Amino acid sequence: MKAFVDENVCISCGLCEGVCSDVFSLDTGVAVAIECEISSDLEDSVREACDGCPVQAISIEE
């Protein structure tokens, strides 16, 4: 699984980082996701962040 954040849509609310800081960060002012494959133990948190994003800026590639 990989996660992607559309930086043009992100409103920097911080929800994704709060739910799964191992994958998402706001270091650049908008959310970014780690670029490597996400470990299976973090997949549920990544899905929760994706589902909770208020502007649907996060997408997941299985």
CATH number of the 2-61 domain:
3.30.70.20
Q: What is the spatial distance between Cα 16 and Cα 51, in angstroms, rounded to a whole number?
A: 10
Q: What is the spatial distance between Cα 17 and Cα 7, in angstroms, rounded to a whole number?
A: 14
Looking at per-residue confidence, does 28 or 58 come out higher? 58
Residues contacting residue 8 through CB under 8 Å, at least 6 positions apart? none
In the prediction, which pLDDT does 9 show? 97
Which residues does residue 60 pair with via DSSP β-bridges, in sequence order? 3
Compute φ and ψ for 60, nearest 5 degrees.
-125, 140
Pair 53, 23: CB distance under 8 Å:
no
pLDDT band at 4 (very low <50, low <70, confident <90, very high): very high
Q: Is the per-residue pLDDT at 27 higher than 90?
A: no
Q: pTM of the prediction?
A: 0.93
